[in-house]
Amino acid sequence: MSDVDDVTAMEARTRSALHRATDGLLVTEDDMDRLEGELMTLLETRPSEGKVARRGRWEWGVAAAAVAALVLGGAALWQVNHEQTAPAVPAPAPAPTWPLVPPELVGLWQNQPDSEWLWEFSADGRVFNTDTPVAYLRGAQTARGDGAPRTLGTREGDLYTWAQTTKAGSQDECDKLRIHVDGPDAATLTPGCTTGEQWVLHLERVSPRSAAAGALEPRFPTEAARTVTVTSQLEGTWVNEATEQVLAVGQVESGAALTYVLDDDGDGAVDPDLRGLLTVGSDGSVRPVPGSGTGDGCAPVFTKVVSRTATLTTTSGPDGCFPTGSTQTWLRLN
């Protein structure tokens, strides 16, 4: 056999050995071509070599092919195992979700210990505060001018940011408010900014109030009883602790008829249950102005109202919101 034939046979056997050694491994065609080229370069036989030398080079080439296969196979196996055992990247934790205003904050609150200021928090983020019944009534009547509610935009835990479209979100004021609910009927308000004026307000829930809450403390002195015959004696913001209803009465405009709001879910300044006009008779009766009411048709009708400044005691007449002849006690809030 000629030297050329020996080289051709050696190439064929080397390729066959290399393919057998790498069978079943993740080896690409490019890897195989590269190995074949390198091995055949080493196995090229010079004319002066004899058959023994060529056989030795052939045996060395087969061994080299096996070693190369092991190297490639080991690398491929490591890659497969690494891909299979690599720990999965954990999915990012979902952002916490919460209602803009938690249910335990929704309602009407008053400053502690003896302020006449009221705060009202609505589920949709509107916040209203006032110390007069007229502002309370204007807040219920319109979102413009005196008594307009502000709106919370976002919340992170107990830190709230005012919506930028409201007065509280202007450049010259802190645009954040921290509201911490301390218990079923207690909350603390502080500024949400570390700069500027710092203050702390302690609030007590007025309506709706939890079953475990005690009686509200009077904010005004108790005076001698007198029958109400003029509108000024009826004006004020009042709460009936037995029914958790809030009754606000006042003159929105000078000389106008008395406006009233009756609400039992703590959002009477922005979304009152009942609203209308009242008249006070010379006999002490209080009746609605026909056609002025909103809501389910009910309106306060009192045959007699007795004021002690700190409280009102009303006796209900027919076709009103309360059973005929029943009495209600209202505690003055402001």
Encode pLDDT of 216-242 as tens digits.
Answer: 999 999 999 999 998 888 999 999 999
142 is a domain residue: yes
User: CA nearest 279: which of 324, 249, 239, 242?
Assistant: 249
Average pLDDT for 3-13: 57
Per-residue pLDDT, 1 = 55
98 falls within a domain: no
Classify residue 101: in a domain, yes or no: no
Do 137 and 250 form a contact (C-beta atoms < 8 A)? yes
Instruction: Taking residues 109-125, report their average pLDDT.
Output: 92
Instruction: Answer yes or no: do 182 and 255 share one domain.
Output: yes
N-terminal to C-terminal alpha carbon distance within the chain:
121
Could you tell me which of 244, 243, 271 has the C-alpha nearest to residue 136? Answer: 271
Q: Residues 238-294: pLDDT tens digits? A: 999 999 999 999 998 877 789 999 999 989 988 889 999 999 988 889 999 887 776
The number of residues making up the chain comes to 334
Q: What is the pLDDT of residue 213?
A: 84
147 and 23 in a common domain: no
Residue 65's nearest CA partner among 31, 90, 111, 93 is 31
Q: Are both 72 and 184 inside the same structural domain?
A: no
243 and 200 in a single domain? The answer is yes
Specify the pTM: 0.68
| Same structural domain, 61 and 14 | yes
Whole-number mean pLDDT of the chain?
Answer: 79
Q: pLDDT over 90 for what percent of the chain?
A: 43
Residue 250 inside a domain? The answer is yes
Does 72 lie in the same domain as 113?
Answer: no
Q: Is 90 inside a domain boundary?
A: no
Higher pLDDT, 159 or 14: 159
Residue 149 shares a structural domain with residue 269: yes
The verdict on 253 and 138 lying in the same domain is yes
**Does residue 130 have a pLDDT over 80?**
yes
45 and 193 assigned to the same domain: no
Contact 147, 159 (CB under 8 A): no
Would residue 129 count as lying in a domain? yes
pLDDT above 60 (res 167): no
Asked, for residue 230, whether it belongs to a domain, the answer is yes
Sign of the torsion angle spanned by Cα atoms 224, 225, 230, 234:
positive
Residue type at 208 in one-letter notation: P
Same domain, 187 and 264: yes
Q: Decide if pLDDT at 81 tops 80.
A: no
Q: How many domains are there within the chain? A: 2
pLDDT per residue as tens digits for the range 195-222:
888 999 999 999 998 888 888 999 999 9
In a domain, 20, yes or no: yes
Q: Which of 54, 85, 116 is the last residue in one of the domains? A: 85
320/195 Cα distance (integer angstroms): 52
Q: Look up the domain containing 12 and give its range.
A: 3-85
pLDDT reading at 22 higher than 60: no
In a shared domain, residues 198 and 57 = no
Q: Strand (E) positions, the chain? A: 107-112, 118-121, 126-130, 150-156, 159-162, 176-183, 186-191, 201-207, 222-227, 236-240, 245-250, 258-263, 274-280, 286-288, 302-309, 311-316, 327-332
Q: Nearest to residue 210, comparing CAs of 228, 232, 188, 186?
A: 186
212 and 318 both lie in a single domain: yes
b/e burial code for range 5-32 (CB count within 10 A of at least 16 → b):
ebeeebbeebbebbeebbeebebeeebb
